[in-house]
């Protein structure tokens, strides 16, 4: 993996293996990626908290990795997962983090 | 959108609207995102070349955006697209950029 483009991180896209929904995108450093592959549960590096976190470690809504792919230039990961717990991946309680339309207004302001 | 976490960029996941395959991940700055929404064709900011590029501008394999979503913390974009041209999104000639298994060896070395 090429971790050089984002100061030691790569984006990891998480996709439901059954519904094929894109559930979230997190970032991984080498340690998070190794842990993810070794344990079979998606583990990320939190950019805001500056530390590793296993998705669902408090909520129980862990993500079991069923396959992992790498892209053509080795700088992005795609994980296919099963949703555990109540199956809601987003911290807002929604199934996926991608639940709002991106309008031009949102693109400009985030509002 | 919150462009602050990656020095002015956000990741953009591109998903085939029909097959639901994840095709590629690129990065967008404000200008690329605005152009994408205005033109309906996915446009990215190349981190290696330091400039905007519209996917398919030379190959013809453009990506027509049929819907755009934003995630819960406003820092990632999900585009659903139709593949134009020969439909092969990856520069290697494959349909998707995610076409190799991520083994522990690849995770460590990129080999």
CA distance B65 to A74: 25
Kindly list the residues from chain B whose CB atom is less than 8 angstroms away from the CB atom of residue A77.
102
Per-residue model confidence (pLDDT) at position A48 = 87
| Tens-place pLDDT, residues A73-98 | 999 999 999 999 999 999 999 999 99
Element (H, E) at A107: helix A104-109
Sign of CA dihedral B37, B42, B43, B45: positive
Residue B105 has pLDDT above 90, yes or no: no
Q: Is B50 on the interface with A (CB under 8 A)?
A: no
pLDDT tens track for A31-51: 999 999 999 999 999 988 999
Nearest to B102 among A38, A47, A77 (CB): A77
Residue-wise pLDDT tens digits, B47-84? 889 999 999 999 899 999 999 999 999 999 999 999 99
CB neighbour list of residue A10: distance below 8 Å, 6 or more residues apart: A1, A2, A3, A27, A28, A33, A75, A76, A77
CB contact under 8 A, A37 and B104: yes
Residue B110 in this model has a pLDDT that exceeds 70: no
Mean per-residue pLDDT for B9-35? 97
**A100 Cβ partners below 8 Å, 6+ apart?**
A106, B69, B70, B72
């Amino acid at each position: 993996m090429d971790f050089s483009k984002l100061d030691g991180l790569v984006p990891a896209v998480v996709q439901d293996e059954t519904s094929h929904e894109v559930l979230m995108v997190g970032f991984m450093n080498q340690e998070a990626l190794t842990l993810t592959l070794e344990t079979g549960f998606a583990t990320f590096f939190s950019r805001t908290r500056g530390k590793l976190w296993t998705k669902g470690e408090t909520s129980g809504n862990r993500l079991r990795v069923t396959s992992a792919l790498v892209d053509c230039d080795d700088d992005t990961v795609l994980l296919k997962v099963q949703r555990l717990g109540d199956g809601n991946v987003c911290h807002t309680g929604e199934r996926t983090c991608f639940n709002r339309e991106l309008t031009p207004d949102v693109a400009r302001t985030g509002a």
